[in-house]
């Protein structure tokens, strides 16, 4: 795993240096060109971070307790608040669970939303689908 992290970090450094050299070489003085270069670079960094995250060790399952005082199902805004408030009591053990896979960094890009519709990422939600 450490080898993969070193490789991906090396790739990130190479890409950043390449984009920096290209921007100097082309003499980006136009704000739209510089903005596109910055957008492209941040997109590549996001992809690299996603690959690094995927290569990390899985969560330590030994930390899961055999018994909990409260189990909150659903880690949305309300579930997270309920679990947080319950965990303020020191003697209470609270487990917050959420179904599904880990989020992909690209899901944070608003323009990419149409690509995630009706896929397994959003549980093939069709509540607003016009038939």
Taking residues 37-55, what's their average pLDDT?
70
Bigger pLDDT: 32 vs 56: 56
22-26, 36-40, 72-76: range with highest mean pLDDT? 72-76
116: left (phi over 0), alpha (psi -120 to 50) or beta: alpha
Query: What is d(CA 7, CA 14) in angstroms, rounded to the nearest whole number?
Result: 11
Contact yes or no for 122/116 (Cβ under 8 A) = yes
DSSP 47: H
Each residue of 98-118: pLDDT tens digit?
Answer: 877 666 767 777 787 777 777
Contact yes or no for 70/94 (Cβ under 8 A) = yes
pLDDT at 6: 45
Could you tell me the residue ranges of all domains in the chain?
2-57, 61-97
Contact yes or no for 58/1 (Cβ under 8 A) = no
pLDDT at 3: 44
Each residue of 51-103: pLDDT tens digit?
Answer: 666 666 666 667 788 899 999 998 889 999 999 999 999 999 999 988 776 66
């Amino acid at each position: 795993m450490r080898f993969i992290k070193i490789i991906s970090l090396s790739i990130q450094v190479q890409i950043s240096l390449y984009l920096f050299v290209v921007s100097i070489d082309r003499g980006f003085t136009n704000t739209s060109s510089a903005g596109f270069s910055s957008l492209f670079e941040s997109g590549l960094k996001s992809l690299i971070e996603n690959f690094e995250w995927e290569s990390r060790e899985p969560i330590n399952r030994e930390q899961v307790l055999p018994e909990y005082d409260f189990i909150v199902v659903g880690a949305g805004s309300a579930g997270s608040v309920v679990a947080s408030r319950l965990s303020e009591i020191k003697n209470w053990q609270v487990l917050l669970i959420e179904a599904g896979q880990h989020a992909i960094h690209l899901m944070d890009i608003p323009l990419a939303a149409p690509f995630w519709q009706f896929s397994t990422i959003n549980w093939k939600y069709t509540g607003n689908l016009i038939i």
